[in-house]
Structure 1
């Protein structure tokens, strides 16, 4: 549980960023799972030559789970503030709700995902720049002082 306070606009912006990422990744992941050839969205499996994948099914599944469902789970956690033991184990930030750390991880993960993708594809196009920027923006907004203050745990709920 965190302190009851008015939600800053920057926290609302962070919510929007997670919704945008989550819904977009669910849609993209589903398309790649339904059509692993990538033709439905104008992609060709030839761009996977430097990857361990023969088609887009596994990347689509990863996209759906890691950048679709996980950001929406983090959003739920930011809003409802449950005490998830697994999330507390991966939260090194004493005094901040685990959802704050998870938001940072989503940003890091997205940046890494795009970097690996551009390496494997040996190209960078607008969508890569866009999603790299989104990952950086998620991190920057998460790190804003007003956002951090919003996720500070109150004294009665400090981790031991």
Structure 2
């Protein structure tokens, strides 16, 4: 639908655009939406507390940090595989860095820091 051809994938491990599309939909579509929902409602996220080293932070905060890292890494790998950089890459690289910057703001960290109660 976007007019992309499979020539873009000649330096990648993918034969067609379906697998990268599914990865993008899940990792950078569904997971961020679920994370935003969790950050807004702050439900207990038992189990997620075991997969991040930030024991004093709400688990969804750590997931947002990882989403930013993941987006930056995805774009870096994509530009390598495509052997070029476009405006869309700069946009999404900037978005990944913005996610990182906002997540690391002291006010945001303070809001998601766990108190006496453990809501992991």
Please, what TM-score do these two structures have when normalized by structure 1? 0.72
Unpaired segments ≥5 residues, structure 1: 1-39
CA-based RMSD of the aligned residues comes to 1.3
Aligned to 2:47: 86
- Measure the CA separation in 2 of the matches of 1:52 and 1:140: 31
Indicate yes or no: 2:57 matched with 1:100.
no
Number of equivalences: 120
Q: Among 68, 71, 96, which residue is 1:110 paired with?
A: 71
Moved >6 Å (runs of 4+): none
Unpaired segments ≥5 residues, structure 2: none
Decide which structure has greater helix share.
Answer: 1
Contact 1:95 1:158 in 2 (8 A): no
Aligned to 2:87: 126
Contact 1:114 1:131 in 2 (8 A): yes
Alpha-carbon spacing, 1:155–1:59, altered in 2? closer, same or farther (3 Å): same
